[in-house]
Amino acid sequence: MSEPLAVRARGVERRFGDLHVLRGVDLDVRQGELVALFGPSGSGKTTLLNLIGALDWPDAGEITVLGQDILRLSESRRAALRRTQIGFVFQGSSLLPTYTALENIDLALRLPGLGYFERRRRAKAALAAMGLSAWAHHMPEELSGGQRQRVVIARALALQPRLILADEPTSGIDAGTVRRILALFRGVAQAQGTAFLIVSHDPLVAEYVDTVYDLVNGQVIQRQLTVKTATQERRDEAWVG
């Protein structure tokens, strides 16, 4: 039996003035699935991610996220969905400059109402998974660009959401660490049933996801993937271990 849909988009359109960015997008993402969306800059990838994350409103179409028709939800219920069920990894660091790495994650975990000790436990575990335990008490300005990006990823994972929307999550990160992060994503998807929708230009991402779509002329087209080799599977297991 296939897993239930975390995201279901049908006929989604978005215009900005005379610019018709999305032209009837159809997209499915299942629980526990890693999906990548590729396309040139300006093709509408981030726009689609914002629509699915209930951060923007389409001009036409239907979007169901985690079983809820987000276009019929009140703003308060849309906000509650974002706070508790959706993890975001935005382009750039999006970290508060006056808070440490640990505090940035802790602050995000206050929104769903988690207690202090649970927040700290999750924040420390997420930083450890990103290899950043030694930088937990550093300010963002004391971290490299790649380290800041890993803190943002840690913040999304610490929420333990049912859906993670990641906009260029591997930007500024070296290839070895990217492989480790993507293998971690696969482990989280398998263990927790978390769905991942990853917008990217990074060809490494395509090696680790279940489905790849290309956004072309405002529509998504599924790309045919080759089956992973045994060598690739063993490399994934080594990273996770």
Residue range 96-109, pLDDT digits in tens: 999 999 999 999 99
Q: Given 3.30.70.270, 3.40.50.460, 3.40.50.300, 3.50.50.100, which CATH number is that of 32-43+86-240? A: 3.40.50.300
d(CA 138, CA 235): 32
CA distances from 134 to 138, 158, 171, 197, 205 (A): 9, 17, 22, 29, 27
Q: Is 226 exposed, middle or buried (0-12, 13-18, 19+ CB in 10 A)?
A: exposed
Residue 222 phi/psi, 5-degree rounding, is -75, 135
- 205-227: average pLDDT: 89
Which tokens sit at 143? 């971290």
User: How is residue 198 annotated by DSSP?
Assistant: E
CB 183 within 8 Å of CB 240: yes
d(CA 190, CA 32): 6
Boundaries of every domain in the chain: 32-43+86-240
CB 200 within 8 Å of CB 168: yes
Q: Chain-wide mean pLDDT for the chain?
A: 91
Look at residue 7 in the predicted model and tell me its pLDDT: 98
Residue range 127-161, pLDDT digits in tens: 999 999 999 999 999 999 999 999 999 999 999 99
